[in-house]
Amino acid sequence: MTRTVLSVTDLVAGYEPGVPIVRGASLTVREGEIVVVLGPNGAGKSSFIKAIAGLVPIFSGTVMLDDEEITKVPAHQLVRRGLAFVPQTENIFPLMSVEDNLKVAGGMLDRRDMTGRIEEMYGLFPDLRDKRRIAAGNLSGGQRQMVAVARALMVRPKLLVLDEPSAGLSPKFVSMVFHMLADIRKAGVTILLVEQNAKAALAIGDRACVLVEGRNAHEGRADALWDDPVVAELYLGRRHAAGPSASDKPMPEAQP
Amino acid sequence: MNPQFLIDGLLTGSMIGLGAIGVTLTYSILRFSNFAHGDLMAWGTYATLLIVGAITALFGKVAPFSPLSFGWPLMLALALAMVVTGGLALLLDRILFSRLRAKGQMIIVVMASFGASMALRNMLEFLFTSRPAYFSRAIQIAMPVGFGLRITPDQIALLILTAVLVTLVHLIMTRSRIGREMRAVSQNPALARVAGIDVARVVRFTWLIGGALACVAGVMIGVLVQIRPLMGFDMLLPIFAAAILGGIGSVPGAVLGGLIIGLSEAAAVQIVGAEWRAAVAFLILMAVLFIRPIGLFGVKER
Ligand SMILES: Nc1ncnc2c1ncn2[C@@H]1O[C@H](COP(=O)(O)OP(=O)(O)O)[C@@H](O)[C@H]1O
Ligand SMILES: [Mg+2]
């Protein structure tokens, strides 16, 4: 039985006291998995993962990271414990160089480790190496997303949490982002992903849950969810058809 | 026009610039205009004066480093007072600003800084009266340095000190971990937390640097002019004008802004008369706000 990396139980969270946005959501993520959170706009998906990342006040429920309770741990300490979060928007420091974006996230690494880790990031995202001195805000949308993900990976997280990493990108970059996530998982990082692009997300995901009005409405294996006619019609914006065939999958072949 | 205005302008500009660094950092990290900054300058100066007095009481009169008007007691006192002033800034934040900041209304924090300014100033008047005090009564001879310019040894020493401090702060901001973290917090505080940055630590450091530099600026005025409870408050307009002219958040901008305003003031004194000095900072401030509100090195707000 694989280890549970993240387990969220009956989470209630919101921005103002007495106004819960997340109303009892639960979730488990096991080591090596990609788990996808789907749901209609305004369902509270972003609020849900922001609460996990310590950015939205939690009213009740628990969040466990690797058997340690992190429900009340402030956001900046979660990084140290292995949880890295990539917000949907404003996820880079636009006026800082690409390299400083990485350095500032690696504050707790020692100097040699930092240099090595930055090199590893340039290995993972070769585009960024050429742009290392350029202000991150001047990059293209896809490259900014690479900076955001590289920044999160700097501290070797156990769990990478991403909020709609493909939103607002052109189709070419969307497929690049999903390739990138598949690669990151292969490198041993567990991933929790909120997505609007249900098809692509379910194609790389192992399991998924559908959040509606701040609660789990459906959950299960990614392919089963895709094949579920009710879920498909209600939340995935698709009349029931064939599941994602191998050719649909944006999963990359192993890359050398 | 007498070229001596260059020296006067550089000196005033250095004082303004050192003050403006603190203001620009507090603004870019905490998003509020700290109107008590000038009074931190005055507190730092009086703290230095007290420590110099204590040293003299302990060790007797210490001969100055000739040809300077001051010796090691002032230098040691300045170093200690920088820490004290940084601590005072931290204390103010702890008991006043941070509590109001938590309520999320920045205008309330700005008003509170007005109140703090008044309280700090009145405490100084109560403790030290409004009679001017001096670090030294010795008259220094200004040495000719060519081009018809004259400068005193004290002035040279303080210009060098300013240059060293400004370079140091600039290096901290651009090269060090805390500097990167400060820039990160100023660009996006929520993302800074996500990136593992302890924002409270960054805020503390900002107050420490701002307070310490305010202290130096004040002592500079104290050495070159005189020490009064109002000495810092009177500098507030040029300091804010310099920070805005340079572009909020930019350390080099604050210094350059300070120098431009210092030089303009000194030139105006010669061209249109000393009574117009105070109007210069105001005019520059207005011009910047109308023509280029983001200042010289500023960037558009996100
Ligand atoms: N910063 C905020 N302050 C107050 N309410 C918010 C904030 N962000 C989102 N909400 C509210 O929370 C609800 C869920 O939003 P969100 O979590 O962004 O949903 P999703 O990501 O599923 O589209 C929305 O009704 C929205 O109005
Ligand atoms: Mg969202």
Say yes or no to pLDDT of B170 above 50.
yes
pLDDT at A247: 42
Q: Are A46 and A84 in contact (CB under 8 A)?
A: no
Structure tokens at A61: 């429920």
- Give percent of chain A above pLDDT 90: 72
Of all residues in chain A, the one with the smallest CA distance to B196 is A76
Nearest CA to ligand 1 atom 18: A46
What is the mean predicted confidence (pLDDT) over A39-66? 95
Q: What is the mean pLDDT of the segment spanning B149-176?
A: 94
Per-residue confidence band for A237, with pLDDT thresholds at 50, 70 and 90? low
B297 contacts in A (CB within 8 Å)? Answer: none
Distances in Å between the Cα of A201 and the Cα atoms of A205, A209, A236, A238 are 6, 12, 11, 14
- Say if residues B253 and B295 touch (Cβ distance below 8 Å): yes
> What is the predicted ipTM?
0.88
- Please judge whether A96 and B180 are an interchain contact, meaning their C-beta atoms are less than 8 angstroms apart: yes
Helix, strand, or coil (residue A34): strand
Residue range A194-204: mean pLDDT, rounded? 90
Contacts of B181 in chain A (CB under 8 A): 104, 107
Terminal CA-CA length for chain A: 30
CA distance, residue B172 to nearest chain A CA (Å) = 14
Strand partners, A11: A25
- pLDDT at residue A231 is higher than 80: no
Spatial contact of B22 and B37, defined as CB atoms under 8 Å apart: yes
CATH architecture entry for B5-133+147-291: Orthogonal Bundle (1.10)
pLDDT band at A24 (very low <50, low <70, confident <90, very high): very high
* CB nearest to A76's CB, from B180, B188, B198: B198
Per-domain boundaries in chain A: 1-82+157-256, 90-156
A1-82+157-256 is a CATH 3.40.50.300 domain? yes
Burial call A34-47: b when 16+ CB within 10 Å, e when fewer:
bbbbbbbeebbbbb
Query: What single-letter DSSP state applies at residue A139?
Result: S
Q: Which of A22, A23, A46 to mutate to test the pocket of ligand 1 (most atoms within 8 A of CB)?
A: A46
pLDDT, position A234: 67
- Res. B105 pLDDT band, cuts 50 70 90: confident
Average pLDDT for residues B189-217, to the nearest whole number?
Answer: 96
Contact A48, A25 (CB under 8 A): yes
Average pLDDT of A27-35?
96
Contact residues on chain A for B180, CB-CB shorter than 8 A: 96, 100, 103-104, 107
Residue A53's closest chain B neighbor by CA?
B194
pLDDT reading at A239 higher than 60 = no
Q: Where are the alpha helices (DSSP H) in chain B?
A: 5-30, 37-59, 72-92, 98-101, 106-128, 153-175, 177-187, 189-194, 199-224, 236-246, 251-272, 277-291
Higher pLDDT among residues A90 and A254, named by residue: A90
What's phi and psi for A212, nearest 5 deg? -135, 125
For tokens 């009481």, the residue is B57
Please tell me which of the candidates A75, A80, A94 has its beta carbon nearest to residue B194.
A75
Residue A168 CB coordination number (10 Å): 12
Length of chain B, in residues = 302
Whole-number pLDDT of residue A246 = 41
Q: Residue B31: is its pLDDT beyond 80? A: yes
- Percent of chain B with pLDDT strictly greater than 90: 81
Asked if A175 contacts A204 with a C-beta cutoff of 8 angstroms, the reply is no
**What amino acid occupies position B225?**
V
Give yes or no for A16 touching B (CB within 8 A).
Answer: no
Residues 93-122 of A with CB under 8 A from B: 93-96, 100, 103-105, 107-108
Nearest CA of chain B to the CA of A207: how many Å? 25
Rounded to a whole number of angstroms, the distance from the CA of B217 to the nearest CA of chain A is 29
Mean pLDDT of chain B: 93
Q: Which residues of B68-104 are buried (b: 16+ CB within 10 A; e: fewer)?
A: bbbbebbbebbebbbebbbebbbebbeebbbebbeee
Q: Of the given ranges (B75-84, B224-233, B267-276), which has the lowest mean pLDDT?
A: B267-276
* pLDDT over 80 (residue A60): yes
Mean pLDDT confidence for A163-185:
91
Q: Residue B182: closest CA among chain A residues belongs to which residue?
A: A104
| Model confidence band, residue A251 (pLDDT cutoffs 50, 70, 90) | very low
* CA B46/CA B146 separation, integer angstroms: 36
Ligand 1 atom nearest A214 alpha carbon: 14
| Bridge partners of residue A84, in order along the sequence | A160
Structure-block tokens of residue A156: 């070797």
CB-based contact, A73 to chain B, within 8 Å: no
Q: Which residue has the higher pLDDT, B247 or B302?
A: B247
Higher pLDDT, A243 or A144: A144
